[in-house]
Amino acid sequence: MHLRPGTLAASLLVFALCACTGNVREPATAPTPRVAAHDVIGVEPVHLDADYWVRKRPDAAALVIDATGIAARNARLHANDPSVNGIERLPPELDGARVRAWIEGLSAPPSSPLFDTEGAEITATAVAGLRAALALDEIPERQPTRFGLVTQRADLRTFPTARRVFNAPGNTDIDRFQESALFPGTPVAIVHASRDGAWWFVVSDLYEAWIDRQAVAIGSPQQVFGYARKSPYVVVTGADVRTTYTPELPQVSELRLEMGVRVPLLDKWPRDRSVNGQHPYTAHVVELPVRGTEGALAFAPALLPLRADVAIGYLPLTRAALLHQGFKFLGERYGWGHSYNARDCSGFVSEVYRSFGVTLPRNTGDQAVSTAFNRIAFDERMGHAERLAVLRTLDVGDLVYIPGHVMMVIGHEEGLPYVIHDTTGISYRGRDGALRHVLLNGVAVTPLAPLMAGETEWTIDRITSVQRIRR
């Protein structure tokens, strides 16, 4: 079962602001870091520089895991992880009950009041309209399995609507109908259409939800899955890049590509032949999926400037590269379910690792328990000192999970880990003993040991697991 964004938001709020019962346990042997003027405990300007953490590791350039090891872990994820759909293995025909289960598993009636951008409560009539838009009565008993490629960055929605809804009036950062996003070149199975035909319910390897049909082009299985296997290819290694502007083909003009997106490289393109009205000698010529006549899949050349932050093939997975990739997002606004053209905590770590070719489940709940990686399980019987001892052994790139949140280790100060994470905020107890809450709402660097999950509970006492993506 997926940990859906609604659950994650509640957990993040607990992480930053909740008040729990019980006695505070002092973090034995954990020093109290200094609080700088910006009010984020333990963070000085030097901590915001990836190279500072790289210099602390003499082995920073050593390979953590090679391409063969990464491929083996990806294969294990696809074979054994229940959160991964493996759509290439879907049968030629889909059973209607299976389609209905996918849709009803996501698009259930809201269990609590929701509010619009103006603060008005969403009425029961409006909710009924959303349910009617699912067109569940139009699901056939059996249907041919159709596939497509995503052609532009597109939101995945709980219901077939772009309407934004929230838990409380004025609390408009977390849209409860926002699930995730898909990026150009992502294969999907198209399993149903909304009542008005404007939305498709799609199943990707890592998620299933509603998407604007204009963002997907229908193709044969050979076209769809063959695209992802084309070689040579470039991988986006910046937080994002954009193709060059072209009025000749708007579909590939200034197209946004996120970190880790892989696109085929047209290395045989004649160097004196223009691409969409521009000479290609200052760019990579890449191949992108586009929507042709009546939504059919076609492919078109596009230019990625040579100055764009991309690599030929996936990056070698080293500690130095992990740090530099993670810090490329530093300061980006928190984007629930990939909203705001950004990402949330699990999206952040997924995209960092995707630039090395490593696939992670989409949501924190699935990432935390996956058997595809080297997992360290924490349980309620572990005492505070025992947890601190484990934290001292963590390495750069290790992923630390509490309910609804994930943090990536970047190094140690005085023997205890610092993390980079996409977070709504942190809490800690000041030298005066008072609990302080700091709104961050972005990708941030913080120490881990002094953070609190409420009035009386240390964050490290809520850790459920650590995932190590290594040999």
Compute the average pLDDT of residues 13-42: 58
Task: Report whether pLDDT(288) > 60.
Answer: yes
pLDDT single digits (tens) 310-349 = 999 999 999 999 999 999 999 999 999 999 999 999 999 9
pTM of the model: 0.92
pLDDT in tens, 111-147: 999 999 999 999 999 999 999 999 999 999 999 999 9
The model's pLDDT over 75-112, given as tens digits with 9 standing for 90+, comes to 999 999 999 999 999 999 999 999 999 999 999 999 99
More confident residue, 315 or 13: 315
pLDDT at 458 over 90: yes
Between 29 and 452, whose confidence is greater? Answer: 452
**352-368 as b/e: b if 16+ CB within 10 A:** bbbbbbbbbbbbbbbbb
SS (H, E, C) 117-146: CCCCECCHHHHHHHHHHCCHHHCCCEEECE
Cβ neighbours of residue 301 under 8 Å, at least 6 residues apart? 252, 266, 269, 275, 276, 285, 286, 287, 288
Mean pLDDT of 272-298: 96
Average pLDDT over the chain, rounded to whole?
Answer: 93
C-alpha to C-alpha distance for 35 and 40, rounded to whole angstroms: 6
How far is it, in rounded angstroms, from Cα 226 to Cα 242?
23
Whole-angstrom distance, CA of residue 346 vs CA of residue 369: 13
Most distant CA atoms of the chain, gap in Å: 72
pLDDT of residue 167 exceeding 70: yes
Which pLDDT score, from 0 to 100, does residue 20 have?
Answer: 34
pLDDT band at 33 (very low <50, low <70, confident <90, very high): confident
CA–CA distances in Å: residue 388 to residues 248, 306, 393: 59, 46, 9
Is residue 191 pLDDT above 60, yes or no? yes
**Angle of the 345-354 helix axis to the 319-327 helix axis, nearest 10:** 130
DSSP string, 370-436: -SSSEEEE--TT--HHHHHHHHTT--TT-EEEETTEEEEEEEEETTEEEEEEEEEEEEEE-TTS-EE
pLDDT at 219 over 80: yes
| pLDDT tier at 19, thresholds 50, 70, 90 | very low
Cα–Cα–Cα angle for 87, 93, 94, rounded to 5 degrees: 70
CA distance 451 to 428: 5
The confidence band for 182, taking pLDDT boundaries of 50, 70 and 90, is very high
